[in-house]
Structure 1
């Protein structure tokens, strides 16, 4: 048997009867996240596991309050810039090569021929939840802070580690939709009832429960890898997903591609075996992650929100933030009014201000359009929408001396949540940096 791979983000302990504990414990951080290094270490561990002599594996966290918060979104933003800097003909292959290891590693883990249990106390979100779903047995503590979920859609992304395939296979398609599309979470009892967990125990008992399952000599295969597994039929699947897709198109105008991409993952992946489903997921992910909307939403709806929440708790929000947001809203409203009927149609088209129902066929065309409307406005309504957004960008330009560069994601978050600026475009500072204020 070969030696364990060198790992900086995981450590191991072995019991006397051959159970290996794999402990996720990133150095120098209070919360585990899946960095690129951690992803490659997880895959290397799965490769090693297949040829090992261990009886089984128990995965847990070395952090006292949480399992894993998800992906390292800072690294993801860097990857976006790296991909966009490459020649266009090379971007698809580069994207797959960069992002496929997490899904590939989790698939190797669940097919290594060894029983794998996970013991979760605290949050297991995003990649952390996907890691847990790749285990054959999931033990959650009954603490209120123990929750699992896949919130990637909230920042314009989809779960890229098999989450769109395993969650609906565990809990059913309909029950998975709030988790996948709305950022909902399962508490421990809810996860158990839905089928996303196998046992719920008092905090402190999760490792013993996971070990006990390993010692029962269980079948080390997932339900979807057994001979009696029945994939979804296309008709039954579309009866659930098609109305949801239609609703999202009407409500969002096709401007939020993540939810539609997640539905594509379900439609393409759940009628085939898991290997084909994971392949479909990364194929859809590669197209989504190259769009600008996820980059905008990570910067504003994640990093900006974190900064806003932290500074609000300290009563240290930037001076004049509310005045800035009011000015942005007023500038867009004034420009919209000046354009008359055209301005009203333009604001509705772009998702500026209050939500409005859109024509489903037009929204579908907007969803698949390349380049996106704001990259190449082609109609009077689109030109007018750019004019309205440029009015907001002009306010941002005027405020550059009053809002520091490191505070601008926060200010954009404020405008996206309180001033009616479209979230998929980030905020007025993000828009100004990309398109100016012409």
Structure 2
């Protein structure tokens, strides 16, 4: 598609100028290209898509109210809004405080983080978390589940209090779920108090405990008692000698649990033979557990101690999908001791799902959009009547280019409201002596 298809470059202007769209609530988004390649008008009412009128089926366009905001999306493509199903906002943006030469594996990262904890107060945590959320939103993420440590120094729940407050502050801008991450050294009374202070999800890390099965049982007990979903860090190692995920699935089935249960990481599944993997996935499917894969962080953390072929640090994603298990994907850590890089960008995750996870373009997009919302228990997104009006508008290029992160321009809607508008003005001179410039960013006229 040529740049000319984007329409006049001067129609709207820079994202931070007077014509930026942030804050608008359009009642219609017209002539946008859907994922299936057709053009359509999206009618938005009360935070949802009320109807989708495909151009090829339209004979006339109904009149709009004089005060209606209509967004002309000619030259733009619709993409469902992404979710970050597994973040650590309490740790985000602390990499600069660490020793870059200390090491790179999971135990070292844990040690480095614990060394930082005494110097982290509520204000510090809130400032970093708020900054990280702003980047997530600008990149097209409208829902986040963040894990937050029960800290081992000072008030163990100061991180919980900060992120619960941030959740309330940003209501209407982003859907934020707070998951208490309790280790084996966290007292049960501390977990109960965290639940009383408003966490949304019960979490833990049984794979790091001396008795993983007990830690799983404790988390499930508390979740059932308080009617909360569960999200456990599970099997975040490449050593396949034990599989905590299987124990989790068996416990869930034995209880007949009704709450959503999520297993995050599940790295060990990538080290199993098909004969060992099949019964594990059968048990997970029977239990209704969703799996979250986190490529960028686990590719970084795993395999440092391996002598020989280094594992990818990912579960067998193809086998998970083939088993009918809900699959979500995220980035996990953001420039902290567990991952020194990352852009808080769903299309960074999709790129890694294709290259390292061997998923198709469509499967990768689903893992950060519809699959992620299934695992998080959120209303579904999609270009269909009744779906949440959470979506991105990106330049109308092939979907594979979008998932590769090739396009910086993104207009992000959450609940039908424009919460971010990023359009980069770029000019090039690739011909000697040329004085012409051309914008490579589409416009979005409104009326």
- The structure with the largest strand share of the pair is 2
Normalising by structure 2, we get a TM-score of 0.24
Which protein has greater RCO, CA pairs closer than 8 Å, 6+ apart? 2
- The structure with the largest helix share of the pair is 1
